[in-house]
Amino acid sequence: MYSVLIADDELNILEGIAALVRWGECGTELTYKAHNGVMAYEWIRENPVDIVITDIKMPGMNGVELIQKVHAIHPHIRFIVLSGYDEFEYAKGVMEYNVKHYLLKPSNEEKIEEALKQIVEGLDEEKEKQEVYQEIQQSLHRVLPIAKEQFLKDYLTGKTYWPEDWEHYGKLFDLREETYRILVFHLDDDHDIDERFVLKEALTNELLKHHRIILSTITGERILLLIEGEAAGERELIEHIKEFRKEYTSYYRKTFTTAVSEPSTPERLKEAYGETISCLSQSFYLGNNSILTTRDVRDEAVSNDTLLFDHDEFLYMLKSGNVEEAECHLRHFFIEIEEKRYPVNVLKSHCIELFMLMIRQSQRMDDFLKDVMIVSNLDSFEELRSFIENAARDIAGERFQRNKVSQSSIIQRMMDYVDEHLSDPDLSLSQVSNDVLYMNSDYIGKLFKKEQGEKFSNYLLNKRIQKAVDLMERSGEIKVFEVAEAVGFGNNPRYFGQVFKKYVGVTPKEYLNKEQV
C-alpha cells in the first residue's frame, strides 16, 4: 500500500474525499489529513508519504509553495492538484515537480480514484525497475571480484590473456597502478590444501595492513599474491614477511619459502611471474624458509634460460591414481625438454622440484627422499626420464589402490545411508553428497555409477520399490498411501503408483489384492 496525505483548507471537501475515496481498492491508504499547507509540510518532513493530494489556495502556505518545498526534500513524492479553473495558469508552474494530475473542482471520487490508480501503476513500474536494477547490481557485485581474480590469475600464468588485454580489463576491474609486485609462497613440508588456504588467508590479512593486495589465490601448490604499486619498498616488504613468518612458524610449526619479484609494469607481469617461479625453485640450493628475490638468484644463475612447465594437472593425475594420463603428461614434458635442450643444471633443478612434488602424493615419502640426490648424479637425459617416469608409475599405482579402498568405503556409506533414510522424500544425490559426505555431487555421482554400474537415482528408485514390495508382502492390510510415505514418496501416492507399475508391472492396489488372495 502507498501512503497518501490530503491537504485542503475546506473541511467539507477534505472530509468528503477522505470518506468517499476507496483507498484500498486503489492500492493506497490515507495516513494524514492536513487543514493547510503548513500542517501538511510539517507532517511530511517527519513522516514522508508517497502521494500528496493538495488544494492550491490555502492560508499560510499555498499548494504551489507546498509542492516546491516538499519536492526539495523528498523528490520521489507524487502530487495530485485540486483547484478551480481560474487557478490553472498559476498552478501549472509546478507541473515539473512530480505533479501527475491536475483535477478541476469540483472533482468527484471516481476521478480522484482514477488518478490514484495511474500514479500507483507508475510507482509499481518504478519499483519493479529498481528491484531489477538492484538485482543486476548485486549480481555484478558478486561476480566482478571472482572475474577479476580469474583474469589476473590467467594473465599472470600465461593462459588466455595477453598484455594488450590489460587496457580493456584494467578499466573494467579498476586496475590503475603503473607497477605491481608479485609474491609467490610455498609451504616447505608435506601439507594439504587446508593448510595452504590457512597460510594464504593469514598472509593476506597481515600484508593488507601495509599494502594493497589485488590478487590473493592458490595455483597448484603455490600461493600467489599481487600487490598494487609500491606502498613500501622491497626492504620494508621483506621485513613484513619476516615478521609474519616468525609468528606463523612459532604457531603452526611449519615453514614456507617466499619469492618476490621486482616492481613490474602490466606489460611485463607475465615475464616477472616466470622469473618469480624460477626464483622459487632455487630454494633447493638455498634451503627452506627462505625469502628470495629475482635479483638475488639472477646473479647466481648459470644461464638465463628458464624452464616453465605447468605440472598441476600431472600432480592431480598422480593423486587420482591415473597411471596412463600421468605417463602421457610426462611424455609431452620430456619431448619438449629434448627439443629445446635446456641447460643440464636448469633441467635437473626443475626435475628435483617435480620429484619433490610427486613424492608428496605418496605415503612412502621418507623412502623416496633417499633418492632425491640421484637426480643430480644422473649422467644422461634417458636416465633422468626413466627415473621420473618409474617414480610416477610407482606413486600413481599406490594412489590407485588407496583411492579404490577409499571410494568403496564412500559408496558403502551412501548405501547404508539410503537404507536408513528411504522414507525421506528429500533423499537425493545432492543431499547425500553435500550433507553427509561433504563432497562434490558430480564427482560422487560418477563414482557411484563406476562402482555400482547404475546411476544413484536408479539405485534409489529400485531400493524404494523393493522396500514397497516387501512392506506389502509382509502386511496385506497396509494402505497404498502408507507404503508411499514409508518409501519416500511423501504425500504423492499417485506418482508412487506410476513408478511402482513401471517397475513391477502392476499398480500397488493390484499387487495388494493379489497378496490378499
Say which CATH superfamily domain 177-298 falls into.
Reverse transcriptase/Diguanylate cyclase domain (3.30.70.270)
Strands 99-104 and 180-187: unpaired
Give CA–CA dist 113/111, Å, rounded: 5
Is 54 strand, coil or helix?
Answer: strand
pLDDT, position 30:
96
Beta bridge partners of 4: 30, 51
Q: Would you state the cell numbers that stand for residue 148, as one nine-digit string?
A: 577479476
Provide the pLDDT confidence category of residue 284 given band limits of 50, 70 and 90.
Answer: very low
Parse the chain into domains and list their residue ranges: 2-126, 177-298, 312-402, 421-516
Give CA–CA dist 512/492, Å, rounded: 18
CB contact set of 7 (below 8 Å; sequence gap of 6+): 34, 35, 36, 37, 39, 40, 52, 53, 54, 55, 58, 63, 66
Q: Does residue 411 or residue 240 have the better pLDDT?
A: 240
DSSP single-letter state for residue 95: T
Handedness of CA 409, 414, 415, 416 (dihedral sign): positive
CATH number of 421-516: 1.10.10.60
Is 146 strand, coil or helix?
Answer: helix
What is the average pLDDT across 19-30? 94
pLDDT, position 155:
85
Does residue 280 surpass a pLDDT of 90? Answer: no
DSSP 9-27: S-HHHHHHHHHHS-TGGGT
Pick the CATH number of 2-126 from 3.30.930.10, 2.40.160.40, 3.40.50.2300, 1.20.1250.20: 3.40.50.2300
CB contact set of 16 (below 8 Å; sequence gap of 6+): none
Cβ atoms of 45 and 51 within 8 Å: the answer is no
80-84, 156-160, 315-319: least confident range? 156-160
pLDDT, position 285:
43
The answer to whether the pTM exceeds 0.85 is: no
Q: Would you state the cell numbers that stand for residue 34, as one nine-digit string?
A: 492536513
What is the average pLDDT across 398-420? 77
CB contact set of 403 (below 8 Å; sequence gap of 6+): 320, 321
pLDDT, position 490:
77
pLDDT in tens, 57-85: 888 899 889 999 999 999 999 999 888 75
Cβ atoms of 488 and 419 within 8 Å: the answer is no
What is the average pLDDT across 205-216? 88
Residue with cell 522396500: 467
pLDDT, position 286:
58
Q: Which residues of 58-94 are buried (b: 16+ CB within 10 A; e: fewer)?
A: beebbbbbbbebbbeeeeebbbbbbbeeebeeebeeb
Q: What is the radius of gyration, based on Cα positions, of the chain?
A: 37
Is 361 strand, coil or helix?
Answer: coil
From residue 421, alpha-carbon distances to 34, 36, 274, 464, 470 in Å are 65, 70, 53, 10, 16
Instruction: Please indicate whether the domains covering 2-126 and 421-516 agree at the CATH topology level.
Output: no
Q: Would you state the cell numbers that stand for residue 125, as one nine-digit string?
A: 513500474
Provide the pLDDT confidence category of residue 304 given band limits of 50, 70 and 90.
Answer: very low
What is the average pLDDT across 231-242? 82
Give CA–CA dist 69/38, Å, rounded: 11
Residue with cell 633422468: 384
pLDDT in tens, 360-388: 888 888 888 888 888 887 777 888 889 99
pLDDT, position 437:
80
Cβ atoms of 66 and 40 within 8 Å: the answer is yes
Q: Does residue 170 or residue 204 have the better pLDDT?
A: 204
Provide the pLDDT confidence category of residue 246 given band limits of 50, 70 and 90.
Answer: very high
